[in-house]
Amino acid sequence: MSELELLKDFLTKVKAMREAQRAYFKTGSSNALGQAKNAEYEVDKTISMLDDTGQGQLFGEEEPARALGMPLSTAPQPMDTAPTDGRKILVDASQGGWIEAYWDVEYNEWDTDHHADWFTSLGPKRWMPKPQDEEVQS
């Protein structure tokens, strides 16, 4: 099975799990609860079977991008590879989500235009290039 097929299969199982969970929340029936638990078990089993990271992850960081045909340059990269020339990039601040940030050359640290203290305290985890702004056509 190709990586794309594995990803599609996993997505199908996750959707089935979510539908079963919604059915249980709507009805509260024990039958719906059983279906939700079975679907969750299938998702967990798939993650365990395909987990080559040993950390409960279905794929490493590059595999989904490669499977979906994304250039690897746009897949999340480790922070030690991020540009430190002041250009704005997208940074994964964990619990803060993805935000626009840049390396502040003067202070020698990652920063945002809003100088968010929570951002630097969480510490950026990964980065991606910012999508190119599309030109507005009139």
CA distances 135 to 44, 95, 99, 132, 138, Å, are: 43, 32, 22, 9, 10
Average pLDDT value for the chain: 74
The pLDDT of residue 76 is 78
Domain locations along the chain: 3-67, 76-128
Q: What is the mean pLDDT of each run of 10 residues along the chain (138 residues)?
A: 76 86 85 86 76 55 58 71 90 72 88 72 77 44
15's enclosing H/E stretch is helix 3-27
The pLDDT of residue 67 is 60
The pLDDT of residue 107 is 85
pLDDT tens track for 91-126: 887 655 677 889 988 888 888 887 666 666 667 778
Annotate 71-137 with three-state secondary structure: CHHHCCEEHHHCCCCCCCEEEECHHHCEEEEEEECCCCEEECCCCCHHHHHHCCCEEECCCCCCCCC
Which tokens go with 138? 């009139």
